Structure 1
Amino acid sequence: MCEIFCFNSNTPKQVNECLQCFYNHSDEHPDGWGLANMQSNEFVIDKEPIKANCSEHLKDILSHPVVGKNVFAHIRLATVGEIISPNCHPFTEADDNNRSWMLIHNGTIFDYPKLDEYVEKENGDTDSERILLYIIDKVNEFEAKKGALSTIKERFNLLSEIVEDLSKNNKLNLMIYDGDLTYIHSNMRDSLYYLKNDEGFLVATTPLTDDIDWKPVELNKLFGLIDGKIIFESGEHENEYILTKEHEEYLSSLKRDGN
């Protein structure tokens, strides 16, 4: 699959050490890397379809301080989609009210026909990008019906419903940012961890430091973070993902097809 990373804080902090540790896992996730840093109300995004440890561009980025309040990173092990730049995470898109969204995903969508209509609309060919396009359409529908911008709480409630539905029979470890709120979701055991300290919130597929306070992200809930604090927490759904023989056969078929 992939590995994902998020840093969320109330003040800008340097995160080079954690990022370097994260990208050192790229030998097992060689199919691309991405980095997003929220600066002055816009994302600074870099990504390439090569192994992170082989990237001179990433090496140059990490040779300078990477400082931010909202930083996201991804290393890819391709399942759905070719190894090309448009398939590297993070994915970004604007909604009808010009709000920028970002998504990174660790998992696979095995069964969700509603995403099929986005195959012709996306820039690449990943299920992850389709998730973002689908979410934005739902936000657009909500705001058009309301006739006004959504509140942060309304967006969190809407995404809680979407994520619960999407998570049925699918692996859905997600990090999403909408310019205000960072959304975190996991529905597979031992696949996402967090560390809360004075620096802020760190969330990653595996613990990135020797700190003993890393804890598993609570399963089957959506969390909303602002300034290093959880401000929203959804109820618990029942869609824990457990790898089955059918899932393994599907993933093997993708590899045979060259994806």
Structure 2
Amino acid sequence: MCEIFCFNSDKPKQVNQCLECFYNHSDEHPHGWGLANMQPDDSIINKEPVKASCSEHLKNILSSPVVGKNVFAHIRLATVGEIISPNCHPFIEADDNNRSWMLIHNGTVFHYPELDKYVEKENGDTDSERILLYIIDKVNEFEHSKGAPSTIKERFNLLTNIVADLACGNKLNLMIYDGDLTYIHSNMKDSLYYLNNDDGFLIASTPLDDDENWQPVELNKLFGLIDGNIIFESEEHDNEFFFTDEHLKWFEESMKENNLGDGNE
């Protein structure tokens, strides 16, 4: 599995302290790190297939202020895919209307045949990248049928249905950004938390400090954020994920196939 982080606000803020707390978890998630500072004209994406705490590149980045309104971070514990740069999050892809989409994922897709065709199309070999390619194809289909770009609300409604379906039998903690809207989804208990304060929204796999106001993200819903506010909230779906012994066996076999050792990666 992995850990994910998002900062969403109405004004650019410095987030170095939050990022440092987040990346301190990399001893348990050593297979890569990523950082995305999404800006209208010049998004900055950095990622490496090395442990965050050992990365000189990340150290250099954090030695200067990291300032943004929409900042995302990821640390990877590989279960699907090799430990290579193309498998590090975030994943970035453009749709047919040149809108850039970014996705980071904490979870595993155990079964969803619609993703299989993207194995030959993706740059790496992760289920997470396939999710993004699938979403973009669905957005393109909708916009081609409409004959015009989608509205923010139309995209939210479309992703609500896609994510609810993808969540059936799969762990799907997602953070997605489409240039306007930040999408947040969790379907496993106690695996994603948020803190809403004067600075904006912080969302992370585990609370980043001792603030008592951290709360679990409500399960089985898609949330849409802009400028530190929830502007869309979906209905609740029924596809909560529960970890079983069968999933553990699957992880062990997958790690063995990918030479990832005994689970201490």
TM-score normalized with structure 2 length: 0.97
Corresponding position of 1:234 = 234
1:41-82 deviation digits (Å, cap 9, x = unpaired)? 332000000000000000000000000000000000000000
In the TM superposition, 1:1-259 aligns within 5 A as: 1-258=1-258
TM superposition shift of 1:222:
0.1
Q: RMSD of aligned C-alpha atoms?
A: 0.6
Unaligned regions of 5+ residues in structure 2, if any? 261-265
1:110-144 deviation digits (Å, cap 9, x = unpaired)? 01000000000000000000000000000000000
Off by >2 Å, runs of 4+ in structure 1? 39-42
Measure, in 1, the Cα distance between the counterparts of 2:34 and 2:148: 33
Q: Contact 2:40/2:179 (CA < 8 Å) preserved in 1?
A: no
Measure, in 2, the Cα distance between the counterparts of 1:42 and 1:178: 14
Code of the aligned partner of 1:13: K
Measure, in 2, the Cα distance between the counterparts of 1:39 and 1:147: 27
Q: Contact 1:41/1:179 (CA < 8 Å) preserved in 2?
A: no
TM superposition shift of 1:106:
0.1
Identity %: 78
Code of the aligned partner of 2:144: A
TM superposition shift of 1:39:
2.6
TM superposition shift of 1:249:
1.0
Question: Which deviates the most, 38-47 or 219-228?
Answer: 38-47
Measure, in 1, the Cα distance between the counterparts of 2:63 and 2:7: 19
Measure, in 1, the Cα distance between the counterparts of 2:12 and 2:254: 41
Corresponding position of 2:263 = none
Measure, in 1, the Cα distance between the counterparts of 2:28 and 2:118: 29
What secondary structure is seen at the aligned counterpart in 1 of 2:81?
coil
Code of the aligned partner of 1:209: D
1:202-243 deviation digits (Å, cap 9, x = unpaired)? 000000022110000000000000000000000000000001
Measure, in 1, the Cα distance between the counterparts of 2:38 and 2:256: 38
| Paired residues, number | 259
TM superposition shift of 1:148:
0.4
Q: Contact 2:90/2:104 (CA < 8 Å) preserved in 1?
A: yes
Code of the aligned partner of 1:78: A
TM superposition shift of 1:40:
3.7
Unaligned regions of 5+ residues in structure 1, if any? none
What secondary structure is seen at the aligned counterpart in 1 of 2:169?
coil
Measure, in 1, the Cα distance between the counterparts of 2:49 and 2:107: 18
